[in-house]
Amino acid sequence: MPSTYTPNLGIRKPGNGEEDGVWGTIVNTNSDIIDRVSNGTLFLTLTGTASTLTTADGLLSDGQYKVLSITGTLAATHTITIVPNDAQKIYFVRNLTTQTVTFTQGSGGNMSVPAGTTKIIYTTGTGATSAIGSFTDTLGMLSPTITGGAISGATITATDAALTNPAISGGTITGLTNLDVTAGTAALPAYSFNTDTNTGIYSAGADSLGFSTGGTNRLLLGNTSLATTFNGTAAVPAYSFTTDTNTGMYLAGTDTLAFTSGGGDAVRMAGDGVYLPAATTEARFIEIGNGRTGNGACIIDLIGDATYTDYGARLVRGSTGANATTSLTHRGTGNLELRVSDAGILNFYTSSAERMRITSGGFVGIGVTSPAVMLDVSGSGDFGGNLSVQGNLSTGAIVEVGTLGSGNRNSVVDFHSSGAPGAIDYSARIIRGAGVNGQFDFYNSGSGNYNWVVNGTTRMSISGTTGRVSLSGGAARGFSGNVLTTQTDSVANAFRASGYIEWQTDVGAIGTTYFLSDERKKDNIAPSVQSSSDLINQINFIQFDWKPESGNTGHVNVGVSAQQLQGIDSRLTHELSDGGLMVSEPALVAHIAKALQEALAKIDALEARITALEA
């Protein structure tokens, strides 16, 4: 009977009565095969991208080793074909090459062993459809203890695990209720990376988890806090982004949190407030609502008391779109102040143009860039209510129209009291004409009077229709209630009577005669038949002294008595409103002239008679 071979190892099985004399050789070869499969290691150096691992019947061959230690510097994945495809094999594979090594036996599936890893693989030996699997890809362990080494690409399912500085790479760990590892340190963290063993996670103390990089603690996670031991800087913030390492958050000082952008301070938050620091030329913005795609309100609330807990002051940009209202609301009875602390100017703009300014001296300019008085306005102004001007003790209340030194021009004050528009754009107007000697005019566009009112009473009025000036008085002005007096109150108002003008004075009524002899104002003109010489001869000329109450002083050597003249001819005197008498000088002068004429006629007659007698 001929010899046969085991299907998986190729061990020779001699038939009965066969191989007489060579059994020693066969047994020795079979023993060597068993030794290889039980403890043998094949040190296999690979080149290229493909090779064959063959198990030969009855002969020592590489496919019979249990352990495969593979080395070689490869440029690409290397594929090892296990021959024959009907042999069932178990291999412990350690890949020490620079590339993945893939094992194949049939079309059922291959198994890859990455560089630097170890796997236990097996073949199904089913011929052309043979497949290769792995025991270590999915490894079930109960309470394993792993010390050192590396676990790569494994799926670990366990209830408890104690790991002492293992290197775990790839795969999954599931079903654990407790995973015990050493506490580790910042230099050698309990959880690290096989390529960076001083970077990872460790126990920094009771209830404290530490994160280290490069052997230095960077972050501490406790029960109530998350802390980093690296304060950071503006250029290298403690908390940043992998794609923008100079933008983030850092500790700028005690109790001061800073946010940096592009390596520069953007915002600092301290115990007393929020700051936006800047370098010499940097701009800083606070934007609310940037990037909107629809209308919405923007609100800044200031809360400084326990009464108005929603806001004490509020700045609002309305929600109605591009032309929304912006409002500043102040609550409570305190002041709302807008201050310029130093010698700056407070400017007010609309439509990007300055409309008003308040200088450091408190001068308000409207349309004026250099106001020189408390209120300096260039242009027209309307007051819907009352305008009150209060002066000081030295200068009084002054309203100035026009500016000294600005050139000659009219100064105009207009008054509008009618609601109906008319051809004239004022109800009343006061104009001071241009220049040093300009005319001063008062205008009234209607037919109303010009009135001068004192203490609620009209004292003088100019009629708007006739132009007549009328006066009225009271006891508070002048003497005896007269309204028109001289500066010294010695002469008051006057009126014209027939042939004289009467004046009220401080010494009583006095009269001033006037001469009027125009024939155009006379009727019934005829030669006078009055004997003026007889009238003149009736006058008793007297001398006298003036009484003090008369308003005259001194002695008069030649005078007349108005009472006697009145008795001779009433036309020689005028009786005044207080009963006093005055001489009608025109009448008296006319009689004196006629009496002189009469006397001259008599003289001429006498001279003629004398001449005749002498002849």
pLDDT in tens, 549-602: 888 889 999 999 999 999 999 999 998 888 889 898 888 898 999 999 999 999
Sign of CA dihedral 375, 379, 380, 381: negative
pLDDT surpasses 90 at 120: yes
Let me know whether 251 and 372 are in one domain: no
Q: Which domain holds residue 423?
A: 407-446
312: Cβ contacts below 8 Å, ≥ 6 apart? 302, 303, 304, 305, 330, 331, 332
CA 480/CA 504 separation, integer angstroms: 9
pLDDT surpasses 50 at 474: no
* CA of residue 561 relative to chain centroid, distance: 94
Residue type, 11: I
* CA of residue 121 relative to chain centroid, distance: 74
Of 236-250, 284-298, 379-393, which range is least confident?
379-393
Let me know whether 378 and 412 are in one domain: no
CA 574/CA 580 separation, integer angstroms: 8
Strands of 469-514 (E only): list them.
Answer: 469-471, 491-497, 500-505, 508-513
Share above pLDDT 90 across residues of the chain, in percent, rounded to a whole number? 35
Contact 161, 146 (CB under 8 A): yes
Mean pLDDT score, 98-105 = 95
Let me know whether 107 and 68 are in one domain: yes
Is residue 327 included in any domain, yes or no?
A: no
CA 181/CA 209 separation, integer angstroms: 13
CA 82/CA 103 separation, integer angstroms: 7
Phi-psi region of 275 (alpha: psi -120 to 50; beta: other; left: phi over 0): beta
Q: How many CB atoms lie within 10 A of CB 300?
A: 13
Helix (H, G, I), strand (E, B) or coil at 533: helix
Proportion of the chain in helix, strand, coil states, percent, rounded to 5? 10, 40, 50
Taking CB atoms within 8 Å and a gap of at least 24, the contacts of 487-496 are: none
Let me know whether 49 and 131 are in one domain: yes
Q: Kindly indicate the confidence band of residue 358, based on its pLDDT and cuts at 50, 70 and 90.
A: very high
Let me know whether 13 and 49 are in one domain: yes
CA–CA distance from 45 to each of 37, 73, 111, 266 (Å)? 19, 9, 19, 61
**The two three-digit tokens of residue 295, written as one number:** 């209308």
Let me know whether 261 and 353 are in one domain: no
The answer to whether the pTM exceeds 0.75 is no
Let me know whether 364 and 440 are in one domain: no
Let me know whether 28 and 83 are in one domain: yes
CA 586/CA 320 separation, integer angstroms: 92
> Before 114, cis peptide (omega within 30)?
no
335: Cβ contacts below 8 Å, ≥ 6 apart? none
Is residue 467 included in any domain, yes or no?
A: no
Is residue 575 included in any domain, yes or no?
A: yes
Contact 202, 210 (CB under 8 A): yes
CA 1/CA 15 separation, integer angstroms: 5
Let me know whether 255 and 364 are in one domain: no
**The two three-digit tokens of residue 485, written as one number:** 């007096």
Q: Distance between the two ends of the chain, CA-based, in angstroms?
A: 236
Note the pLDDT of residue 79.
Answer: 96
pLDDT surpasses 80 at 421: no
Is residue 216 included in any domain, yes or no?
A: no
**The two three-digit tokens of residue 484, written as one number:** 């028109």
pLDDT surpasses 50 at 321: yes
Q: What mean pLDDT value characterizes the chain?
A: 83
Is residue 244 included in any domain, yes or no?
A: yes
Task: Report the domain count for the chain.
Answer: 5
Run of H or E including 24? helix 23-39
Let me know whether 106 and 33 are in one domain: yes
Choose one of 275, 290, 306: the last residue of a domain.
Answer: 275
| CATH, residue 590 | 1.10.10.10
Torsion, CA 590, CA 592, CA 596, CA 602, rounded to 10: 100
pLDDT surpasses 70 at 513: yes
Q: Kindly indicate the confidence band of residue 95, based on its pLDDT and cuts at 50, 70 and 90.
A: very high
Torsion, CA 137, CA 143, CA 149, CA 152, rounded to 10: 20
Let me know whether 65 and 21 are in one domain: yes
Mean pLDDT score, 138-160 = 59
Q: Which of 447, 383, 449, 389 is nearest to 416 (CA)?
A: 383
Q: Kindly indicate the confidence band of residue 302, based on its pLDDT and cuts at 50, 70 and 90.
A: very high
Q: What is the CA radius of gyration of the chain?
A: 67
Is residue 302 included in any domain, yes or no?
A: no
Is residue 98 included in any domain, yes or no?
A: yes
Note the pLDDT of residue 475.
Answer: 41
pLDDT surpasses 80 at 541: yes
H/E/C letters for each residue in 323-384?
CCCEEEEECCCCCCCCCCCCCCCEEEEECCEEEEEECCCCCEEECCCCCCCCEEECCCCCCC
Q: What angle do CA 455, 456, 462 make, to 5 degrees?
A: 105
Mean pLDDT score, 66-89 = 94
β 508-513/500-505 pair status:
antiparallel
Is residue 142 included in any domain, yes or no?
A: no
Let me know whether 411 and 377 are in one domain: no
Residues in the chain, how many?
Answer: 615
